[in-house]
């Protein structure tokens, strides 16, 4: 079966995607530099899919290492590129680290792929490229707004780099998946989200508060122009997101003609407010949750949820899990890692 490179394959979305790829019979090679992941995730992946991916500890910022990798692994049929820094707030403080880590690595990978015949590349992009979109739900044709952070800018520039390269490189076929808000964990609770330090994202903060690791959740503003005053997002189960990568990969592998550069919004199509997410946690955990209303967070958009028509019709993919199902998987994972 085809051998697929997954960069950042020990990360949150990467690890769940490796499981789905192995379940589909693909042979997987993971590159990860372990800067934001744990080698223990390899054990979880193997336990779930009863198959061990090949693992190469390698920093994609090292151009020679990337060249050596592709000299060794000449039979890579597709690349799914997750490896990147992804903390919005951190990117504001460390812009050069973000531009180097998220863009140099992409360029070095593409330089190797363009010399191979028939390269297939999937790029981990984000709904942040839309900024605060003018219309909801958000389609792939929504205008790309000036990025609100260096992180978001690396996703926009990354897409441009791939698009420009595909135009002039007959060997390169590429798809960018624009994620909305990935949450949850594998139903076996053997892999999940492992935020380092204080979680920046809502759902891990909620489950850590539910587990007693945090005293209370701060809800960043309840005076937004939304039904309950809190921000709206499209929370998608990470396994649904992982499956979207397998579908996109197969689209590239089975293509009849060159695929220059396609983008797909990967969400559920359903918007949920912060308070609705809190209520989801209460329902599935049967616990209360300490929270208080705090000031708005700089850079937050009011609302972002996907129009999934293109992914449903052209990609043939649709999210299956509800918010409660995703939240329950997140809570089960939290309980598992805390031995609750």
* Nearer of residues 88 and 138 to ligand WQD, judged by Cβ: 88
* Nearer of residues 181 and 321 to ligand WQD, judged by Cβ: 181
* Nearer of residues 116 and 195 to ligand WQD, judged by Cβ: 195
Q: Which residues are catalytic?
A: 151
Least distance to ligand WQD from the beta carbon of 276, Å? 11
Least distance to ligand WQD from the beta carbon of 129, Å? 9
Which CA distances in Å does 163 have to 84, 115, 131, 292? 19, 17, 20, 44
* Nearer of residues 22 and 128 to ligand WQD, judged by Cβ: 128
| Strand (E) or helix (H) holding 324 | helix 323-337
* Nearer of residues 231 and 252 to ligand WQD, judged by Cβ: 231
Least distance to ligand WQD from the beta carbon of 238, Å? 11
Determine contact, residues 199/210, Cβ cutoff 8 Å: no
Instruction: Work out the number of other CB atoms within 10 angstroms of the CB of residue 196.
Output: 11
Spatial distance between the Cα atoms of 203 and 183, rounded to a whole number of angstroms: 7
Least distance to ligand WQD from the beta carbon of 218, Å? 5
Sequence-separated (6 or more) residues with CB below 8 Å from residue 103: 154, 157, 158, 161
Q: How many Å is the Cα radius of gyration of the chain?
A: 19
Task: Sheet containing 172-179: give its strands across.
Answer: 54-57, 27-32, 3-7, 76-81, 119-126, 172-179, 261-266
Least distance to ligand WQD from the beta carbon of 45, Å? 21
Return the closest-CA partner of residue 57 out of 93, 10, 127, 13.
10
Which residues are near ligand WQD by CB under 6 A? Answer: 86, 88, 126, 128, 179, 181, 200-202, 205, 217-220, 231, 233, 274, 297, 300
Spatial distance between the Cα atoms of 15 and 46, rounded to a whole number of angstroms: 10
Return the closest-CA partner of residue 161 out of 171, 169, 149.
169
Return the closest-CA partner of residue 160 out of 148, 142, 171, 144.
144
Main-chain dihedrals φ then ψ at residue 137, nearest 5 degrees? -70, 165
Name the 3-class secondary structure at 48.
helix
Strands 272-273 and 232-233 come out as antiparallel
Least distance to ligand WQD from the beta carbon of 296, Å? 7
* Nearer of residues 128 and 173 to ligand WQD, judged by Cβ: 128
| Residue with the shortest CB distance to ligand WQD | 231
């Amino acid at each position: 079966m085809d051998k697929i490179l997954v960069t950042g394959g020990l990360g949150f979305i990467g690890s769940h995607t490796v499981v789905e790829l192995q379940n589909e019979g693909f042979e997987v090679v993971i590159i990860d530099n372990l800067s934001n992941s744990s080698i223990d995730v390899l054990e979880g992946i193997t336990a779930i899919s009863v198959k061990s991916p090949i693992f190469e500890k390698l920093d994609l910022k090292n151009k020679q290492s990337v060249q050596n990798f592709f000299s060794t692994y000449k039979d890579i049929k597709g690349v799914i590129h997750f490896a990147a820094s992804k903390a919005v707030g951190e990117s504001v403080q460390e812009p050069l680290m973000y531009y180097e880590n998220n863009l140099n690595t992409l360029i070095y990978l593409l330089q190797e792929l363009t010399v191979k015949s028939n390269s297939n590349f999937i790029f981990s992009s984000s709904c942040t490229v839309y900024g605060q979109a003018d219309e909801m739900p958000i389609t792939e044709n929504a205008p790309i707004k000036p990025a609100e952070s260096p992180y978001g800018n690396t996703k926009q520039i990354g897409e441009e780099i791939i698009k420009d390269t595909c135009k002039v490189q007959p060997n390169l076929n590429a798809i960018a998946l624009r994620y909305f808000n990935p949450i949850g964990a594998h139903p076996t609770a053997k892999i999940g989200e492992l935020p380092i330090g204080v979680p920046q994202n809502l759902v891990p903060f909620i489950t850590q508060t539910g587990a007693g690791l945090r005293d209370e959740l701060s809800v960043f503003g309840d005076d937004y122009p939304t039904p309950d005053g809190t921000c709206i997002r499209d929370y998608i189960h990470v396994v649904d997101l992982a499956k979207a990568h397998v579908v996109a990969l197969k689209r590239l592998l089975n293509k009849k003609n060159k695929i220059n550069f396609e983008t797909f919004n990967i969400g559920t199509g359903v918007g949920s407010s912060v308070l609705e997410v809190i209520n989801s946690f209460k329902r599935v955990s049967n616990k209360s949750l300490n929270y208080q209303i705090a000031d708005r967070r700089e850079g937050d958009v009011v609302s972002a949820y996907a129009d999934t028509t293109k992914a449903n019709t052209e990609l043939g993919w649709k999210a299956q899990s509800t918010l409660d199902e995703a939240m329950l998987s997140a809570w089960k994972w939290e309980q598992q890692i805390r031995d609750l």
